[in-house]
Amino acid sequence: MEIVLYEPEIPGNTGNIARLCAANHMTLHLIKPLGFSIDDKHVKRAGLDYWHLVDVQVHENIQELYEKYPDRRYFYATTKAKHTHSEVKYEIGDMLVFGPETRGLPESLLEGKEDTCIRIPMVDEARSLNLSNAVAIIAYEGMRQLDYPDLKAEGNWIQSK
C-alpha cells in the first residue's frame, strides 16, 4: 500500500506520516502545492532519522500521479464517505489518498468516486481527526488485512507475541 498526501499543509504531520511509511515499507506520494519545503527542519524533525528509509515521490498534480500509476486502486479518505475504512478489502499496491489538513479533499476530486471514498467512524460532533492519526488508522487496517506484508522478519514484534 502507498500513501498519497494531496496538497499537505503542516510539516509535522507529513514528517510523522513519512516515519510511518518508513517503518512499514510504504511509498509516500506528495501532491503539490506543498505548504512547506520537504527540506524544512520541522518535517525532518518529525521524521527523525527515518528519512533514508522512505521513498518520497513528489508530483506536480494528482493527474501526474494517475498517469504514472494508471492500474492502481485509489481510496479517498473523506468524512463525507458512505463506506468505512474497514469495509474495504485492501490489496497490495492500493493508494490511500488524504487531503490537506484544513479543508480535506476537494469535491471536484471526489466526484464519481463515491464507491472508493472511505471514512473513519467518529461522533457527529467531531469535525475530523488529525491527518497523521487518520493515515495511521487506515494504513494499519489495510496492513492488518494483508497480514502485515514485509513485517514478519526474525525478531519483529509481530512474531514475538
d(CA 21, CA 3): 8
Instruction: Look up residue 69 and give its amino acid.
Output: Y
99 is in an annotated binding site: yes
Cβ contacts of 85-89, under 8 Å, gap ≥ 24: 85/118, 85/119, 85/120, 85/137, 85/138, 85/141, 86/141, 87/118, 88/118, 88/142, 89/145
CA dihedral 110, 112, 115, 116 (to 10 degrees): -40
The residues facing 118 across adjacent strands are 77, 83
118 is in an annotated binding site: no
If one counts every other C-beta atom within 10 angstroms of the C-beta of residue 129, the result is 15
120 is in an annotated binding site: yes
Q: Which residue positions form the known binding site?
A: 99, 120, 128
Q: Which residue positions form the known binding site for S-adenosyl-L-methionine?
A: 99, 120, 128
